[in-house]
Amino acid sequence: MTASEGEVRRRADRLRTEIRRHDHLYHVENRPEISDGAYDRLFRELSAIEEAFPHLVTPDSPTQRVGADPLSELPVVRHVAAMLSLDSSEAAEDARRFDERVRKAVDGPVEYLAEPKLDGSSLELVYVNGVLDRAVTRGNGREGEGVTENARTIPSVPLRLRLAEQPATLDPSNGDPSESADTLPIPSLLAVRGEVLMYLSSFEELNRSRVEAGLEPYANPRNASAGALRQLDSRITRTRPLEFFAYDILHVEWRDDSRPGGDPGAGAAFDTNTGAAFETDEQAAEALQGWGLRLPDRTRKVADIDEAIAYHAEFARDREDLDYEIDGVVLKLNALAPRDALGSTSHHPRWAFAFKFAPRQEVTRLERITVQVGRTGKLTPLALLRPVEVGGVTVSRASLHNREELERRDVREGDLVRIQRAGDVIPQVVERVEEPGRARSDPFRMPDECPRCGAAVVEEGPFVVCSNRLGCPAQLERGIEHFVSRGGLDIEGLGSETVALLVGEGLVREPADLFDLTPDDLLKLDGFAETRSRKLVEAIQSAKKTELARFVYGLGIPEVGATVARVLAVEFRDLAILREAAAERLEEVEGIGPIMSEKITRFFNDDARAASVDAVLSKGFELIPPPEQESRALDGKSFVFTGRLDSITRSEAKRRVESLGGRVVSSVSAATGYLVLGGRPGSKAKKAEELGVPVLEEQAFLRLLGE
Specify the stretch interacting with ligand IVH by CB under 6 A; choose among 83-91, 397-405, 554-562, 637-645: 83-91
Phi, psi for residue 306 in degrees, rounded to 5? -65, -45
Specify the stretch interacting with ligand IVH by CB under 6 A; choose among 22-30, 38-46, 115-123, 587-595: 115-123
194 versus 662: smaller Cβ distance to ligand IVH = 194
298 versus 655: smaller Cβ distance to ligand IVH = 298
Secondary structure class of 507 (helix, strand, coil): coil
CB of 70 to ligand IVH, least distance (A): 27
- Show the binding pattern over residues 33-72: x = contacts ligand IVH (CB under 6 A), - = does not: ----------------------------------------
Specify the stretch interacting with ligand IVH by CB under 6 A; choose among 59-67, 78-86, 203-211, 519-527: 78-86
16, containing H or E segment: helix 5-23
Rounded (10°) CA dihedral 113, 117, 122, 127: -30
195 versus 205: smaller Cβ distance to ligand IVH = 195
Instruction: Identify whether the C-beta of residue 599 lies closer than 8 Å to the C-beta of residue 557.
Output: yes
281 versus 652: smaller Cβ distance to ligand IVH = 281
CB atoms closer than 10 angstroms to residue 406: 21
Q: Is 124 an interacting residue with respect to ligand IVH (CB under 6 A)?
A: no
Cα Rg of the chain (Å, integer): 29
Specify the stretch interacting with ligand IVH by CB under 6 A; choose among 41-49, 82-90, 609-617, 659-667: 82-90
Q: Is 118 an interacting residue with respect to ligand IVH (CB under 6 A)?
A: yes
- Among 42, 86, 416, 517, the residue binding ligand IVH under the rule CB under 6 A is 86
The Cα–Cα gap between 373 and 463 comes to 11
118 versus 548: smaller Cβ distance to ligand IVH = 118
117, 356, 378, 654: the catalytic one is 117
Secondary structure letter of residue 376 according to DSSP: T
CB of 293 to ligand IVH, least distance (A): 13
- Show the binding pattern over residues 193-232: x = contacts ligand IVH (CB under 6 A), - = does not: x-x-------------------------------------
Residues with Cβ within 8 Å of 416's Cβ and at least 6 positions away in sequence, in order, are 363, 364, 365, 366, 432, 433, 435
Looking at the DSSP bridge assignments, the partners of residue 190 are 127, 252
295 versus 453: smaller Cβ distance to ligand IVH = 295
The Cα–Cα gap between 255 and 136 comes to 24
Distances (CA, A) of 584 to 557, 580, 596, 601: 18, 12, 11, 10
- Among 122, 156, 468, 597, the residue binding ligand IVH under the rule CB under 6 A is 122
- Cα angle vertex 349, ends 348, 351, to 5°? 140
Amino acid code (one letter) for 262: G
Instruction: Identify whether the C-beta of residue 244 lies closer than 8 Å to the C-beta of residue 123.
Output: yes
- The footprint of ligand IVH on this chain (CB under 6 A) covers a number of residues equal to 18
Secondary structure letter of residue 66 according to DSSP: S
The DSSP-derived string for 134-154 is: EEEE-TTSSEEEB-HHHHHT-
* Of 313, 342, 306, 344, nearest in space to 329 by CA: 313
To the query of whether residue 301 is one of the catalytic residues in this protein, the response is no
- Of 323-342, which residues contact ligand IVH (CB under 6 A)? 330
Specify the stretch interacting with ligand IVH by CB under 6 A; choose among 47-55, 85-93, 179-187, 567-575: 85-93
- Among 199, 218, 244, 247, the residue binding ligand IVH under the rule CB under 6 A is 247
* Of 637, 682, 701, nearest in space to 663 by CA: 637
Q: Is 85 an interacting residue with respect to ligand IVH (CB under 6 A)?
A: yes
Looking at the DSSP bridge assignments, the partners of residue 123 are 137, 194
- Show the binding pattern over residues 347-386: x = contacts ligand IVH (CB under 6 A), - = does not: --x--x-x--------------------------------
687, containing H or E segment: helix 683-691
* Active site residues per annotation: 117
Q: Under the rule (CB under 6 A), what is the footprint of ligand IVH? A: 84-86, 88, 115, 117-118, 122, 138, 193, 195, 247-248, 296, 330, 349, 352, 354
